[in-house]
Amino acid sequence: MKRTFTKLKGSLAIAAALAALNAGSAFAQSNLDYKAANGVNAAGTYTDLGTAGTAITVANNDDANSAAQPIGFTFNFNGTNFTEFSLNTNGLIKLGNTPFTTATAQSNIFNAAVFPDINIIAPLAGVDLQGAADQTANPTEFRVETTGTAPNRVTTIQFENLADKPTVSGTVTTPAQFTIINFQVKLYEGTNNIEFVYGPWTGSANTEDAQIFSVALKGSSGGPNDRLGLSNLPATTFAPLPWSQARFETTTTFNGTGYIPTFVATKNVLPDAGRTFRFVKYSAPANDLAVEAVYTLGKQPLVAPTNNNQIQAVIKNFGTATQTNVPVTLSVNGGTAFNPTPVIVPSIAPGATVTVTFPSYVAASTGTKMANVSLPADDVPANNAKATSFSVTQSTLSYAVGTTPTSGVGFLATSSNRAFLTRYTTTSTTPVTVTNVRAYIYNDPNAATINLPVFAVVLDSTGRELGRSSVVALTGGDLDAYYNFPITYTTTSTLTNTAFYVGMAMGTYTGNTVFPMGYQDELPSRRKAYYTWAVGSTSKPTESIPTAGNPGRRYMIEAEISTVSGVRDEFNSSAVAVYPNPSKGLFSVSAKEFKGSNLNIEVRDLQGKLVYSGVAADKATSVDLQNAASGVYLLKVYNESEIAVKRIVVQ
């Protein structure tokens, strides 16, 4: 069975401790009713419960779950009313009366494959916690108290006198950082707000290091649309910010890679007593349409129209009212302005998503362009417009935006000899051919260590292989950059008004999984763009569709195309005369029927390796392959307007 794996990018510590957003968990689509924009990080007061309320019984202070406890009122979370919760000693509670599936600490509470529990409130998850060492001076206790009068009651759930354990990730061990940890969860009746309030913490005597926590809420799945957490990690430096500077977010981006919400604490980065993270319940307005995404090609060619230059926009209704006859407006700036008639969406129900396709944009010149999509004003103006830039080039097709990958992806060694593909469609009546494929080789040193074999392929709309490049063994110098693969065709090389696929294949290898294919996150991910394919298969490629709520992988693959008029691309074309054929190695090549000048000749073996290249003479050209091994070769004659391919045999 085909499997792909994602390479994490960033420091060794964070890569070992976190699961990247695309690392295989299956998420259902949902929308948690707490939003980052409404979160509040504030100073406050920590009031210990003392003996007030009720002690929560657990089997031990290390890895244990409590029985269901009464909240004291009805609390609405994730669209569901709850009256009970269970406590886990590793810094989290679960709403409802369904028991936890495990008592042990989880490094990633959002990964449904290892932690399927839902409706989670986690003030300090992700690290294995235990009772404080000195239970006489600092007895560990878990307690709940409900105060106030209906309809404004507050339930406080307290975790008292805990400590962290060392965290082991592979060969790396993070020593325990805290000897005393205190914190509370507060649930508010009526508003359904949630607060995490942190009390006195004491740092340990161990070497300072980073413990990576999940300080977050998890709804029905843990996907990006169904979680909200806090992070104090800067964008590029693994040095945690003070707790007062923590921010609410669904995804933490570190060194260009997206991770689950990541909160870092050390013995010297402690909360100030009373530090409060407030999750404010979101109430959807009646009228809230949003432009979630604008899809363009990252690079669009001038040489031939493609339906890929039909700019699209994803529109979602976040409001509670159905919206009708909605005009969606596109404008493209940069060179000649493009302002097509707005597309009218007849109806969008609450929660529904619609993809709008605009008339094809045909550029008049190369350069950087800006596509702007906008909606009419509504109750939330901040999400009514979105813009994206793209490049118009002379002859390059690509979905990738810029040259920075999110990460890398690869196939297991046991399922290698497979390809990552992007799909394009030419709508031109003028034939085009893909002359080169460029793929971004992700910076995975293992690919160079084993000299991973890779090559490019071009397929027609049915998945039939039309041509490929020679096989290349990757080296260190090939990493973190685009690699150019010239294509040699074994059958017709032209494409007319049809879909086609281009991509990079991983050849057969052994050992640990390598991750050579650079990709960028795309959320939401467009359809009919990204695929995988088994080399040699007669089946159509398989579309790479992310699980709902997760970003797709935008493979960083470019196709260099050229228009070909009066094409002589049929295999063994009579436009080229070769004599003798078969031969002992000397061939006379004539291409009198070709138009124009500057004829070039290439000869490649069936693996795509170039064995001869030269410039054709006016009448006949002598091609010397006497040093080539006996076998079948492909001879290509071409210029700026014509191509012909012919089989030749060296005896």
Q: Residue 337: enclosing H or E segment and its boundaries?
A: none
In contact, 269 and 238? CB cutoff 8 Å: no
C-alpha–C-alpha distance, residues 65 and 412, integer Å: 38
CATH of the domain at 516: 2.60.120
Max mean pLDDT among 212-221, 573-582, 593-602 falls in 212-221
* pLDDT of 23 over the 60 cut: no
Contact 328, 375 (CB under 8 A): yes
Residues 134 and 273 in one domain: yes
Lowest mean pLDDT among 165-174, 251-260, 437-446, 498-507: 251-260
Percent of the chain predicted with pLDDT > 70 = 90
Distance CA 419, CA 391 (A): 26
Residue where a domain terminates, one of 393, 408, 426 = 393
Given a cut of 90, is residue 312 above it in pLDDT? yes
Confidence (pLDDT) at 641: 60
Whether the predicted pLDDT of 4 surpasses 50: no
Higher model confidence: residue 630 or residue 19? Answer: 630
**Is 18's pLDDT higher than 70?**
no
Q: Are residues 304 and 366 in the same domain?
A: yes
Instruction: Give the separation between CA 102 and CA 114, rounded to whole angstroms.
Output: 10
* Residue 59 in domain: yes
For residues 108 and 96, the answer to whether their CB atoms sit within 8 Å is no
Q: Reduced to 3 DSSP states, what percent helix, strand and coil does the chain have, rounded to the nearest 5?
A: 5, 45, 50
328-386 residue pLDDT tens: 999 999 988 899 999 999 999 999 999 999 988 878 788 999 999 999 999 999 999 99
Higher pLDDT among residues 511 and 183, named by residue: 183
- Domain boundary residue, one of 393, 422, 448: 393
Range of the domain at 318: 289-393
pLDDT tens by residue, 448-469: 888 999 999 999 999 999 999 9
Of 160, 181, 176, 166, the C-alpha closest to 270 is 181
Is the pLDDT assigned to residue 567 strictly greater than 50? no
Which two tokens mark 289? 């349409």
Q: Residues 311, 316, 318, CA angle at the centre, nearest 5°?
A: 155
Q: State the pLDDT at residue 597.
A: 63
Which of 11-25, 124-138, 411-425, 568-582 is predicted with the least confidence, judged by mean pLDDT?
A: 11-25
- Note the pLDDT of residue 301: 87
Q: Please state whether the predicted TM-score (pTM) of the whole model is above 0.85.
A: no
Q: Are residues 129 and 275 in the same domain?
A: yes
Query: Given 227, 248, 281, which residue is the final one in a domain?
Result: 281
**Tally of structural domains, the chain:** 4
Q: Is residue 166 part of a domain?
A: yes
What pLDDT score was predicted for residue 305?
61
Identify the pLDDT of residue 374.
98
pLDDT exceeds 80 at position 511? yes
- What was the pLDDT predicted at 649? 86
Check whether residue 462 and residue 610 sit in a common domain: no
Q: How far is 623 from 621, CA to CA, in rounded Å? A: 6
Residues sharing a CB contact under 8 Å with residue 323, sequence separation 6 or more, in sequence order: 287, 289, 317, 345, 347, 348
Question: How many other CB atoms are found less than 10 A from the CB of residue 277?
Answer: 24
- Does residue 253 belong to any structural domain of this protein? no
Residue 596: band (very low, low, confident or very high) from pLDDT cuts 50, 70, 90: low
* Residue 637 CB neighbours (<10 A): 24
Mean pLDDT to the nearest integer, 201-206: 98
Residues 498 and 516 reside in one and the same domain: yes
Q: For residues 335 and 474, state if they share a domain.
A: no
User: What is the model's pLDDT at position 307?
Assistant: 54
Q: Is residue 218 part of a domain?
A: no
Amino acid at the residue 421: L
DSSP, res 447:
H
560 touches 433 (CB < 8 A): no
Confidence of residue 222 (pLDDT cuts 50, 70, 90): confident
**Least confident residue range of 125-134, 397-406, 479-488, 609-618:** 609-618
Which residue has better confidence, 373 or 634?
373
Per-residue pLDDT, averaged over 286-307, amounts to: 86
My answer on whether 372 and 419 are in the same domain is no
Contacts of 522 (CB under 8 A, 6+ apart): 293, 551, 552, 553, 554
The reply to whether 367 and 495 lie within a common domain is no
Q: Which of 125-139, 192-206, 420-434, 586-600 has the weakest average pLDDT?
A: 586-600
Statement to judge: residues 346 and 447 lie in one domain: no
The CATH number linked to 613 is 2.60.40.3080
Domain match, 60 and 129 both = yes
Asked if the structure places residue 589 within a domain, the reply is: yes
Q: Say yes or no: 55 and 173 in one domain.
A: yes
Statement to judge: residues 124 and 161 lie in one domain: yes
Taking phi first (over 0 means left), then psi (-120 to 50 degrees means alpha), and beta for anything else, what does residue 236 get?
alpha
pLDDT higher than threshold 50 for residue 12? no
Residue 121 forms part of a structural domain:
yes
109 located within any domain: yes
pLDDT band at 573 (very low <50, low <70, confident <90, very high): low
pLDDT score, position 308:
59
Please give the average per-residue pLDDT across 48-59, as a whole number: 98
Per the model's pLDDT, the better-predicted residue between 333 and 591 turns out to be 333
Which of 293, 357, 363 has the alpha carbon at shortest distance from 332?
Answer: 363
262-271 mean pLDDT: 96
The 3-class secondary structure across 34-81, one letter per residue, is ECHHHCEEECCCCCCCCCCCEECCCCCCCCCECCCEEEEEEEEECCEE
State the chain's mean pLDDT as an integer.
Answer: 88
Determine, yes or no, domain membership for 228.
Answer: no
